[in-house]
């Protein structure tokens, strides 16, 4: 990791008002500490076990964001450790997060992951599923989760117009959902879009959190 590159990148991101989630999956604790010492506090991991191990070895004021697909049976281990879960893609998962958060006497920040790509391999709720979730009685009763916004992953392509259109669609949906379900709710404000290959496009479409790995830490 190159210090000057990191600083330039951070400035580019912060200029738009967005924040950087440094995606440290597969990277050693030494690399994380190096970035921590430059002031970085938000780190993203996609596996609960790896997050737990690193959590135990690194400073307590790191905010750990879980960004990868989360299985219901892993929530118990994640619940005391995470400051935000980006990848909530079902009501069932949210029910479990709420339950485990309650057991830990805390409220867990969550983003609802929306499917915006045209690939079968990516997870996420459809707009219809999102509405059903938000209108469900179960959701209404949850006291230990806080929905902070939406997350999405664009199609893995060189076609910047296509990526831009996907991000724009999610930005619009964010506005509609805010208006219909979270009006006046100060917590619902995050749009987690953009990875190393497409973060510049994401910043143009309202990203408040960009999740960057390889552009900071090098290729995995």
Residues making contact with ligand PLP (CB under 6 A):
23, 25, 46, 67-68, 195-197, 211-215
Answer whether 130's CB lies under 8 Å from 182's CB: no
Q: How far is the CB of 45 from ligand PLP (least distance, A)?
A: 9
CA distances from 129 to 97, 112, 152, 198 (A): 18, 11, 15, 26
Q: How far is the CB of 109 from ligand PLP (least distance, A)?
A: 16
Q: How far is the CB of 196 from ligand PLP (least distance, A)?
A: 3
In the complex with ligand PLP, which residue's Cβ is closer, 142 or 191? 191
**Letter string b/e over residues 63-82, b meaning 16 or more CB atoms within 10 A of that residue's CB:** ebbbbbebeeebbeebbebb
In the complex with ligand PLP, which residue's Cβ is closer, 90 or 197? 197
Q: How far is the CB of 35 from ligand PLP (least distance, A)?
A: 14
Report the distance separating Cα 106 and Cα 56, nearest Å: 19
Three-class secondary structure of residue 110 per DSSP: strand
In the complex with ligand PLP, which residue's Cβ is closer, 130 or 210? 210
Looking at residue 155, the DSSP 8-state letter turns out to be -
In the complex with ligand PLP, which residue's Cβ is closer, 54 or 211? 211
Report the distance separating Cα 191 and Cα 216, nearest Å: 21
Answer whether 55's CB lies under 8 Å from 78's CB: no
Residue with nearest beta carbon to ligand PLP? 213
- Measured between its terminal Cα atoms, the distance across the chain in Å is 12
Q: Which helix (H) or strand (E) holds 75?
A: helix 75-78
- Quote the Cα angle for 168-172-176, to 5°: 165
Q: How far is the CB of 140 from ligand PLP (least distance, A)?
A: 28
In the complex with ligand PLP, which residue's Cβ is closer, 177 or 195? 195
Q: How far is the CB of 19 from ligand PLP (least distance, A)?
A: 14
In the complex with ligand PLP, which residue's Cβ is closer, 18 or 142? 18
Report the distance separating Cα 143 and Cα 10, nearest Å: 34
């Amino acid at each position: 990791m190159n210090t000057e590159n990191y600083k330039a990148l951070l400035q580019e991101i912060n200029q738009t008002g967005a924040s950087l989630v440094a995606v440290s999956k597969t990277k050693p604790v030494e690399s994380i500490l190096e970035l921590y010492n430059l002031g970085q506090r938000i780190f993203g991991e996609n596996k609960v076990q790896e997050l737990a191990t690193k959590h135990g070895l690194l400073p307590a004021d790191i905010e750990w964001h879980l960004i990868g697909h989360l299985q219901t049976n892993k929530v118990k281990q994640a619940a005391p450790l995470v400051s935000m879960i980006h990848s909530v893609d079902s009501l069932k998962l949210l029910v479990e997060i709420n339950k485990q958060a309650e057991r830990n006497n805390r409220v867990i920040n969550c983003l609802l992951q929306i499917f915006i790509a045209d690939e079968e391999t990516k997870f996420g709720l459809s707009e219809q599923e999102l509405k059903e979730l938000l209108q469900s009685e179960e959701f209404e009763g949850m006291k230990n989760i806080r929905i902070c916004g939406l997350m999405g992953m664009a199609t893995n392509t060189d076609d910047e117009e296509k990526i831009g259109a996907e991000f724009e669609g999610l930005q619009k949906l964010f506005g509609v959902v805010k208006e219909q379900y979270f009006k006046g709710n100060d917590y619902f404000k995050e749009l987690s879009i953009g990875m190393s290959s497409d973060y510049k496009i994401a910043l143009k479409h309202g990203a408040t959190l960009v999740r960057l790995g390889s552009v900071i830490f090098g290729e995995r």
